[in-house]
Structure 1
Amino acid sequence: MSVAKVLEISASSTVSSDDAVKQGIAKAAETVHGITAAWVQDTQVVVENSKVTEWRVNLKITFVLE
């Protein structure tokens, strides 16, 4: 039997929302082992001078407990 836990994090990128997701998962993987899935719960953008300057995502990351 395995038991999983869900961790909620926020990540941002000046490149894209996809990059924010990748950076968030990579950073979480530095201390959380056994990540099996991630769900993008929410996406926001920062707008300056009518241009998107930053993407922000809220992620729910699932990992299996050892």
Structure 2
Amino acid sequence: MAVLKVIEVLSNSDKSWEDATKKAVKHASKSVKNIRSVYIKDQSASVKDGEVSDFRVNLKITFEVD
């Protein structure tokens, strides 16, 4: 039987929501092992001078506990 844990992570990128998600997983994987999945809970963007300047994601990372 596997025991799974979920953590909530916020990330941002000046490129895209996909890039923000990849950055979050890459950063979390430095200290969290056995990551199984990512659930995008929320997406938002900042606007500056009429242009999107920052993409933000609020995601849940699921990982297996040893």
Q: Same fold (TM over 0.5)?
A: yes
Counterpart-to-counterpart distance in 1, 2:57 and 2:41? 7
Structure 2 unaligned blocks of 5 or more: none
The alignment's TM-score, normalised by the length of structure 1, stands at 0.98
Moved over 4 A (4+): none
Report the alpha carbon displacement of residue 34 of structure 1 after superposing the two structures with TM.
Answer: 0.3
Q: Which residue of 1 aligns with 2:29?
A: 29
What is the identity percentage for the equivalent residue pairs of Structure 1 and Structure 2?
36
The alignment's TM-score, normalised by the length of structure 2, stands at 0.98
Task: Tell me the alpha carbon deviations over residues 22-51 of structure 1, each in whole angstroms, 9 at most, x when there is no partner.
Answer: 000000000000000000000010000110
Q: Residue 47 of structure 1 aligns to which amino acid in structure 2? A: V
Structure 1 unaligned blocks of 5 or more: none
Report the RMSD for the aligned CA atoms in angstroms.
Answer: 0.4
